[in-house]
Amino acid sequence: MDFAAASVRATSSDGLLLLDLAETCHCPPARPGVRESLDSAMLHQMAAAGATAELDVTRFVCNPLSGQLFRLPVPDMDVAHRSTAFGLLTQSGSSHGPPDRFVVAQLCLRERDSGLVVRRFLSEAGEWDERLPVPCFFPSRMPRWLPFQMHTSHDVLAFGDRLWWFDVTWGAFSVDPFSDRPEIRFIELPQGSVLSDIEISEKMLLGKRRLMGVSEGKLRYIELSTEKEPFMIRSFSLDEEGCCWKLTRASRITLVLPNKAKPHADHLPWLVAIDPFNANILYFDFGHTVFSMDNATRKVVGSRSCPDSITGLSLYRNAFFLPCMLPTWLESNHIPGAVEDQLHKEDFGRHVGSCRQGTEEVKHAS
């Protein structure tokens, strides 16, 4: 079955988006009777969420306010044996102005020699390359393949001139992809949060209860403990040195849905996003509804129904929530490195008009 899907894969700190346009006529094999149960709409949404398939992927950097698109060339490199998701990072010569350049990057192990490299596209170079990173210290008990087994539904974060890949059981890896000799760093989860021996099914469940995000200018880690009611929510922020977590709030809450109903213990809302401007505001997903809660007052402060096209995708919902800050200057700003023959607003709908079907954004204009 031939199908195509567009999805928002990452955001930069200044509002640019990294889009994937995936097309395939080689769907992964299925057990007898299973393929017939998957209609084209479901396959479309699975691709948007990053489900496994033999995909022909075209990537774009997008200005969501102007509609400008910058199409990235296809990497002319060896096939990666294992790899992380791609992230998008920008840099600016001024502290609060438009970006001067961007980089799209991932960590990968090369197929030919299993060498660890940073694979990247630099806007000023206009081409892909690979850089050998500085060796990183990892805890001895950590699996060697951990960086490439991360839960891909969590977005790659852009913070502090680095890209961050989050693992719900161990912590986060980060790298400065602009550097010609990038240093990979690892920050372990707060004490008591590391889970070194856990099944895949349990790890997927943790993906609904833990997240990492950027809010109020700091990298933050949030976890929801559902062992007993009232539930415990703990919030941490990374210190300025980038080496230790500081507990910023610990509160017990009784989750109450916007319709005043109380969810069942085996069917709880998912923790999906943190507000980029207010670290106390957390976003939850519960079936057909997304609602926000003030962790300080422990009250629901807003809710909104999800589009029908994504309410049934319980296995892939974490991939649909990407906080995105939209500065006032973004609409009039051009993507660094873009030229006149790049795609612009008139082509935006034709190429990526379906991306909103697979992605819900938490938007704020500053």
For residue range 286-311, what is the model confidence (pLDDT) as tens digits? 877 888 999 998 888 888 887 766 54
Nearest CA-CA partner of 279 in 295, 267, 266: 295
Largest separation between any pair of C-alpha atoms in the chain: 58
Question: Can you read off the two tokens belonging to residue 167?
Answer: 């693992």
What are the DSSP E strand ranges found in 73-202? 80-83, 87-91, 101-110, 116-122, 127-131, 157-159, 162-167, 171-175, 185-188
Determine what percent of the chain falls in helix, strand and coil, rounding each to the nearest 5: 10, 40, 50
pTM reported for the whole predicted model: 0.82
The answer to whether residue 341 scores a pLDDT higher than 60 is no
The answer to whether residue 130 scores a pLDDT higher than 70 is yes
Nearest CA-CA partner of 290 in 275, 277, 276: 275
The answer to whether residue 358 scores a pLDDT higher than 60 is no
Give CA angle at 174 (207, 11), nearest 5°. Answer: 65
Q: What percent of the chain has pLDDT over 70?
A: 71
Per-residue model confidence (pLDDT) at position 8: 86
Given a contact cutoff of 8 angstroms between Cβ atoms, the answer to whether 358 and 19 are in contact is no
91/101 Cα distance (integer angstroms): 6
3-state secondary structure of 205: helix
Per-residue model confidence (pLDDT) at position 147: 55
Which is more confident, 206 or 146?
206
Given a contact cutoff of 8 angstroms between Cβ atoms, the answer to whether 130 and 118 are in contact is yes
42/40 Cα distance (integer angstroms): 5
